[in-house]
Amino acid sequence: MKLLLALLMALVAVPAAAQTALPPAPWADRQIPDAAQERKAKALMETIRCLTCQSQSIADSGASMAGDMRSQIRERIMAGEQPEAIRTWLISRYGDWVSYEPTAAPILWPLWGAPLLFLGLGLLLLRGRIKRRKSR
């Protein structure tokens, strides 16, 4: 019984505010009523990097700044802004670093080109093998 009570109390315990005394921003942990909009917002939040906990997305991070970013993204989506426009706005402030989605910037061309290059190499190799087998 005591153990059960302890477990129940652990369930309702509120984690101590690590950073600020203010409550989280209004839309930090609240879903948009419109499910389609919430889906869009959530998909974007999963690809935006948290500035405080730098290897987490803002969707996963408990940092207060990540909460503020989620709230602002939801507010902007509700105001009708497109997710990619919000991503562009964030990149214009924090650089490509803030987005987990690779862009078409020249520095990433090898990344996009590598699959084609390797596919081409593979086909060349295959052709050579088939030719050799035929001539045998």
Q: List contacts with another protein (CB under 8 A).
A: 19-22, 25, 51-52, 54, 64-65, 68-69, 71-72, 90-95, 97-98
Minimum Å distance from CB 109 to another protein? Answer: 18
Minimum Å distance from CB 91 to another protein? Answer: 8
Pick the closer one to another protein by CB: 8 or 97: 97
Pick the closer one to another protein by CB: 60 or 96: 96
Q: d(Cα 8, Cα 13) in Å, to the nearest integer?
A: 9
Pick the closer one to another protein by CB: 40 or 67: 67
Tokens read off for 4: 């059960």
Contacts of 64 by beta carbon, 8 Å cutoff, 6+ apart: 18, 19, 20, 22, 24, 52
HEC readout, 50-105:
CCCCCCCECCCCCCHHHHHHHHHHHHHHHCCCCHHHHHHHHHHHHCHHHECCCCCC
Minimum Å distance from CB 82 to another protein? Answer: 18
Pick the closer one to another protein by CB: 37 or 52: 52
CB-based burial, 13-30: b 16+ in 10 Å, e otherwise:
eeeeeeeeeeebbebbee
Minimum Å distance from CB 20 to another protein? Answer: 4
Tokens read off for 109: 């061309």
Minimum Å distance from CB 90 to another protein? Answer: 8
Pick the closer one to another protein by CB: 47 or 52: 52
